[in-house]
Chain A
Amino acid sequence: MKLNAIIINTFRESVRDKVFIAIIIFSIITMLGARVIKPLTLGEEAKVIKDIGLNSITFFSVLIAILVGGRLVYKEIEKRTIYLILSRPVSKTTFIIGKYLGLLLVLFDSILIMTGVFYLFLLFLRIPANYFLVWAIIMTFFELAIITAIAIFFSTFTTPITSAIFTFAIYFIGHLTPDLKNLARIAKSPVITFMSDVLYYLLPNLANFNVKAQVVHNLVIDYRVTILTILYGIVYSAFIMFLSCLIFRNKDF
């Protein structure tokens, strides 16, 4: 009930925020814009449009997660609206989890809208669309769960800009984790091996969440790996949220 109230309020906050609406509109424009480059697609139009569609859904939802997520908690502290939540019988954990789930709800809905537009667009262009594409989007959602958790984690102790930069860096490196593993294997220096190993296990392994290429090229998806990846996403997010709660619990306002 209290958790619900915070989730819904966070949802309202984002939906009534102009930045959020602008991002959604941009994503739709980008998807539709894929049509313009038709002459460059060399007969691979369907694949290119699917590719651009999926990537813009990912890109813009990651943007929402990082930008909105990094401001979410900070803003409540900065504007002191948090006083009127935490002076009520609401624990700091409920607050933070509510904020997190609220943003996930926002992301879920934005992905739903963007995916809807995407499918309509494919329908309009008479490009056959299978449910495969949805798998890629579902995976993106669980990746977003991790990114949002990280953005909120940073926003419990830094400014939105710092949080955004750090989260973006982690997002970026997180997609390179297979390379880190390789680096650890081939590096001559034990220090580098150690460092890349530490990074490999510490940073989220986001590369696994990206099945867009497989999906677009109608390659087989290994569902076992997919399910494991989703589970990994849930566990990793939960762990980060746990850390955020620990930090937040000892905070004075």
Chain B
Amino acid sequence: MPKAIYTENLTKVYRSGFRLQKVKAVENLNLEVEAQEIYGFLGPNGAGKTTTIKILVGLAQPTSGKAVVLGRPAGDLGTKKLIGFLPESPYFYEYLNAVEYLTFCAQLSGIEQNRIKKQVEKMLALVRLDKFAHMPIRGYSRGMLQRLGIAQALIGDPELVILDEPMGGLDPIGRREFRDIILALKAQGKTVFFSTHILADVELICSRVGIILNGRLINSGRLDEILLSEIEGFELIVKGLDRKMVKVIERFASKVISSAENETYLEVTDEAGVERVLAIVREVGGKLISLQPKKKTLEDHFIDQIAKERLKAI
């Protein structure tokens, strides 16, 4: 089975401003997204997510490098037929209603005439817009627009769904429903590729993520691997130590979080430190209440990576 998305040294240079300065929106990006996975594409504002996605769906041409989608060149009509796409903050024809709009989309996607009506109804029900099906889009709220966007992306049962910040404008219930839709797609064997800055969404549903910064992919892999590779230390809670012994073990701790009623909660950076603390505790007849590796959250990771990159840049 070919990779759902494969890019090799993908680069996009924009020339903008008065003096046509070069902006490297995407630089030597190598992405690999397997078929049937949910892939999160993470990056802060201006990192190059939208630019990458535009190339993948054929809205922009790469300056150099290669983009292959579902084993075919990105941007070909045959490739586009297999893709569903939701742009960031999508905008629709305000003078149409949802049924008219989705029918139009279905026609453009090349769905057979006799299947269109059913498809449109199915999509409206999926995103719970059936009650507003005949209301002009002009009157839609932000969240309703986002739902309509998801509906138009999924019409015609695409193999690969590419979503640019799909959760934008959705309330917590909307987010949850969206996650359910994504998981249902995965269950149907579809591939989902979506960009976001909201890490919680990624942590819950993505099998793998790629982190992009300044146009370059700075990390990618399974989420737990990215996070596990960076155990920051261990958190220990020990009990039954007298004040003097607490002072002794505190020397091995990187941080004492709390120390009260003969229960001490501290952080130790490495395993050797943990061993020593445990030895002391055992020796003086104390008790270990809990020992936990301290993982970075994705949030921490994200911020760290960005800080590192910024430092490098200076």
Which chain A residues have a beta carbon within 8 Å of chain B's beta carbons?
1-2, 4-6, 9, 12-13, 16-17, 79-81, 83-91, 250, 252-253
Residue of chain A at shortest CB distance from B85 = A87
Contact B77 A91 (CB under 8 A): yes
Contact A81 B107 (CB under 8 A): no
CA–CA, A85 and B95, complex, Å = 16
Is B83 part of the binding interface, using a Cβ–Cβ cutoff of 8 Å? yes
CA–CA, A84 and B85, complex, Å = 8
Given contacts A80-B91, A83-B59, contact A88 B108 (CB under 8 A): yes
Partner of B92, one of A1, A17, A84, A252: A84
Given contacts A1-B107, A88-B105, contact A253 B91 (CB under 8 A): no
Contact A85 B108 (CB under 8 A): yes
Contact A83 B80 (CB under 8 A): no
Contact A9 B93 (CB under 8 A): yes
- Chain B: interface size category: 20 to 34
Contact A87 B80 (CB under 8 A): yes
CA–CA, A250 and B113, complex, Å = 31
Contact B85 A17 (CB under 8 A): no
Contact B81 A89 (CB under 8 A): yes
Residue of chain B at shortest CB distance from A78 = B91
Contact B108 A89 (CB under 8 A): yes
Q: Which residues of B contact A80 (CB under 8 A)?
A: 87, 90-91
CA–CA, A81 and B87, complex, Å = 10
Given contacts A2-B110, A5-B107, A9-B104, contact A87 B58 (CB under 8 A): yes
Q: List 12 A-B contacts (CB under 8 A).
A: A1-B110, A2-B108, A2-B110, A4-B107, A5-B104, A6-B108, A80-B91, A81-B93, A83-B87, A84-B85, A86-B58, A88-B110
CA–CA, A79 and B138, complex, Å = 13
Contact B109 A89 (CB under 8 A): yes
Residue of chain A at shortest CB distance from B14 = A252
Give the residues from 65 to 109 in chain B that come closer than 8 angstroms, CB to CB, to chain A.
Answer: 77-78, 80-81, 83, 85, 87, 90-93, 95-96, 100, 104-105, 107-109
Q: Which residues of A contact B93 (CB under 8 A)?
A: 9, 13, 81
Q: Which residues of B contact A86 (CB under 8 A)?
A: 58-59
Is B60 part of the binding interface, using a Cβ–Cβ cutoff of 8 Å? yes
Known: A6-B108, A87-B59. 5 other contacts (CB 8 A): A2-B110, A80-B87, A87-B87, A89-B80, A89-B110
| Least distance between A54 CB and chain B CB atoms (Å) | 32
Q: Which residues of A contact B105 (CB under 8 A)?
A: 84, 88
Residue of chain A at shortest CB distance from B156 = A88
Contact B60 A253 (CB under 8 A): yes
Contact A252 B80 (CB under 8 A): no
CA–CA, A5 and B96, complex, Å = 13
| Least distance between A251 CB and chain B CB atoms (Å) | 9
Q: Which residues of B contact A4 (CB under 8 A)?
A: 107
Partner of B54, one of A5, A88, A253: A253
Contact A253 B59 (CB under 8 A): yes
Is B152 part of the binding interface, using a Cβ–Cβ cutoff of 8 Å? yes
Is B10 part of the binding interface, using a Cβ–Cβ cutoff of 8 Å? no
CA–CA, A138 and B218, complex, Å = 63
Contact B87 A88 (CB under 8 A): no
Is B236 part of the binding interface, using a Cβ–Cβ cutoff of 8 Å? no
| Least distance between B312 CB and chain A CB atoms (Å) | 29
Given contacts A5-B104, A5-B107, contact A87 B95 (CB under 8 A): no
Partner of B95, one of A2, A16, A91: A16
Quick one: which of A2, A13, A90 has the most chain B CB within 10 A? A90
Is B61 part of the binding interface, using a Cβ–Cβ cutoff of 8 Å? yes
Is B42 part of the binding interface, using a Cβ–Cβ cutoff of 8 Å? no
Given contacts A79-B91, A81-B92, A252-B60, contact A87 B104 (CB under 8 A): no
CA–CA, A84 and B59, complex, Å = 10
| Least distance between A144 CB and chain B CB atoms (Å) | 23
CA–CA, A84 and B153, complex, Å = 9
Contact A90 B108 (CB under 8 A): yes
Q: Which residues of B contact A9 (CB under 8 A)?
A: 93, 96, 104
Quick one: which of A2, A5, A250 has the most chain B CB within 10 A? A5
Is B57 part of the binding interface, using a Cβ–Cβ cutoff of 8 Å? yes
Partner of B80, one of A1, A12, A79, A88: A88
Contact A252 B152 (CB under 8 A): no
Q: Which residues of B contact A17 (CB under 8 A)?
A: 95
Residue of chain B at shortest CB distance from A91 = B77
Residue of chain A at shortest CB distance from B12 = A252
Q: Which residues of A contact B107 (CB under 8 A)?
A: 1-2, 4-5
Q: Which residues of B contact A252 (CB under 8 A)?
A: 54, 59-61
Quick one: which of B85, B96, B108 has the most chain A CB within 10 A? B108
